[in-house]
Structure 1
Amino acid sequence: MRLWAAVFLVIVFLLIPAASAAEVILSTPQSGYTVLTGEEAAIPITLVSTYDHDITGTLKLASVPVNAGAAGSESSRASVNSRSFSAFTEKRTVMLPVGRSDIPADYHLTITFSYPEDGGRLSTLGGITIHFVTKIDEEKTDTVALAGTDIADPAAGTSSAGSAPQESPKKEDPKESPAAAVQNNQMPQDTSALKNQMAEESNQSRNNDDALLGYILADPLIIPLDNELKGAGFKLGTPDINPVSNRSGKFLLTYSSGTKKVIVQGAVRETRVLFAEESSDVSVHLPDALLENRTYREYGNRSAERGFIRTRTQVNFTSLKKTVDLTFSDAKSRNLHLKAEILNGTVTAVDGENPDDPLASAIPVIGFVCILLISAGIWYLARFRQEERTVPRELIPGAGSKKSSREIAGDILDDAEQDAARGNYPEAYRKTGRALRVFLSYESGSGDELTSGELEPLIASCTGDFEQIRFVLDRCSAVGFAKDTPRAGEFTDMIRSVRAFLEHDPAH
């Protein structure tokens, strides 16, 4: 008898994981589809359900334009469409309509299927691109098959508030006054109305979460990160979405592989991801441009020879720039930090701490050499650089300053234009970037002049064309410090846009 009981328990424990592993997986045979402009696009989507019964839920399609014409046009708008849908117990392939475009354009698509099983689940398929072209020879079809993931619905916990529970009928007390009876009858009605209102607000919040998650996973900044992490064996967990609306907000995505974890967090404004910051205590893939950089490779080899390994990775992604911050540690718990910047796919800066142990005997020699170098620099500046105009520190806004930050920035731009007229474009670009930094630091910051990297949060909160502000700072850094070459007419356009920006209050 005991033997049969043991066998029964083993069978039960074996069946429990199998029953709890049911899921719905979306897939498509290609990651890219090409359609002629003016024609309705439809793509094949396959649903595989491992449940033992049919599933009914909501299918949502998020469409984000990549290069769909002028901003503000009908074709350049992101959209989210939803409809009721069923996943059957057998494999099912359907043609999903995704819209049309009258002009050449590319769209990134993310498809989600939310259903109520197991407390609420969300099946997601992203990374799909639709190419609208005018001629069939412009075909860009990518034949790589895509498969989605099935996770717990991040907003499922709020769905239970969708209906108010029934109050148990209360037996009438014959000693109760008529006024008390009226009051007791009214209270359940008021409670029910309040719960219904809370349920509506909860459902609206859930809709905002779903719409925002669709835009995030379909954004050109997130797609390569998501594909890269999933290709390395990481799975996306329950997203943490903090919406301001169904088109803007903040997000935090957690990817896990065993005990390894990678965090991707950022902000969305009007369906577009402004920035995404990837951070991890494990060694994740770095941008290819940095891995191919000679300075970085030499630093990595030199650090490895001295026993250092990478223990912390943080990469900030924007549409134009990647900022990399790495930490290396050795067995003695000594840490090294390396920072790098990648602008438009080109490494513009790599700065890492020396992996060699400091030698106490060399400190006097190093100090003496530094004194000589400083003295030589002062002599050089006094002898050969007197003709170059700089902005006096006493003019920076502060106690006793007679000029505003707007006026100071305007003076710096005047100097920049004079440098450009003399053909000294590196200096002209440096001063143009500084004019923006001075203005933003004192109008939107705390008063201390900030670097371009430190200004990133302030730029995202500015009104006006914040992408143009970021572009000007990046170009000023590339030409002024990274030996990049000015483009024809670029400096004049930048001066014009910066002066226009100075005429407005960036904080309102």
Structure 2
Amino acid sequence: MSIPIAFAQEVVMSVDQSAYYFLVGENAIVPLTVDNKYEHQINGMLQHSIVQHITQGNTQISQSNTRSSTFPVDSGEQVIPLDFGTSESPLRLSVDLSYRYNDGGDLIATLEPFTIEFVSDESQKNNQQNQMQSTTQQSSQQNNPSPSQSIQQRLDEMMQSPIMPSDPQQRLQNNQIPQDSSSLKQQIYEQLEDENQLRQEFENALATNEQFQEFHQELLERGYNVTGGNLDPATNSTGDFQINYQNEQGEWANLQGSMTNSTIDEIQSQTQQETEQMLEQLRSDPTFQQYDEQLRLDGFTEQNVDFLHDSDQTTIEITYQNEDEQTAKIIGEFEDDTLVDVSLEQQNDNPDWIYWLYVAIVAIATIVYILYRRLKPKRKIPSTPLSVIKQKPFDHVAEAEKLIKEGRQHFEEKNYKDAYGKINQSLRLFLSYELNLNKEVTNEEILKHVPSEIYSVSDIEKCFRVASLVEFAKYAPNQDDFQTIVSITEKIIHKK
């Protein structure tokens, strides 16, 4: 049960229209205004439920999708562009937004539903100003259920969409299928009923599994709470699962695995802190730093980081690419969170026969040279001074500017994660060489060496923080923030 309350301090969301119209093929961008009336940052969970209304002949079908993501909000007012994608045909979406956070109590800001409609003609657009603002509610306390009931209740909450009723008959009525489509109506009803029963039985089997309860309880004791997840049942006791968590600091965790006949085959928990520590361990490794420096000298730049998990083994793959779109990977192998091996994997465009031809040519040339040396009369060769070949120095300023340019291009193409990553990489590369560190270092290590009398440490820290939040999908990108960190980075690079 929730009750409306008036708060002196709260997070308020608002949109300036109750209905947004876009042409078919256009990208649906809705500006969401978020006003954090607290004097500090709030870390919460933004949930959006989208109901898609589809017309197929005389049949009206509704499909619902609910997603949650961590969403930090700075103090003050900001505008967040929400991207709802596009459609190649006329389509109507209903959108529900809510923001759940904790500041001395569990609070939720709920925005009234608004619609997004894709139309085929400009004359069908009817955009009108009609501002809507969220209301804040506080959840009442509930009695503590048993551990298995608590888990199952939480799974129920996160797996079932608040827009789509769980009862198949009610869901069928909401789809507004005409009476003359009785065959299709019965088919959809039976399918929904089977899916609902299968999901519920698998959910019950998972919630009562002792091994799952142990992992779940451990995350709860570490301060994490369930925020979402996904169940993929094959039968009522066999399938895959992933449960998402978040703590009060906004850090994520997840619990994923598979179950066969109510027995856990594989289960693994992972936290943001653990992944960041492993990445830090890899970047600090001398072998990694050697490979990384060599790739950069060869014109490669870092593109993205992937984590692959298998039981107690974790693989981190850092991908690089050059201007010719050739790729390379530095691969770190971990066992029980300890780095055990670092290797370099580079793309080889040459077929095997070229390699063996090269080996044969070198072998023949070596034999000819040896015979020549043995048969040629020896004579004294006057000594001459050796010429020193100077290696062209690495221009870290030019490389940093190049990364900024690539970041701007990624942002224009809406590759926001890569865009923020390039700016972060540009600033880190420049400071690393400018401070004579001359190696791959972490954000924290750079901040320890930055002289405050020359650079603004707070600006640098802000760039690192915003970029990292976007890279780890903890913050929604926007034009103003991106331009701010670009300006700060360019100012630092060109500082005289």
TM-score range, shorter chain: 0.3 to 0.5
Structure with more of its chain in strand, by fraction: 2
Higher RCO structure, 1 or 2 (CA under 8 Å, sep 6+): 2
TM-score of the two chains, using structure 2 as the length reference: 0.32
TM-score of the two chains, using structure 1 as the length reference: 0.32
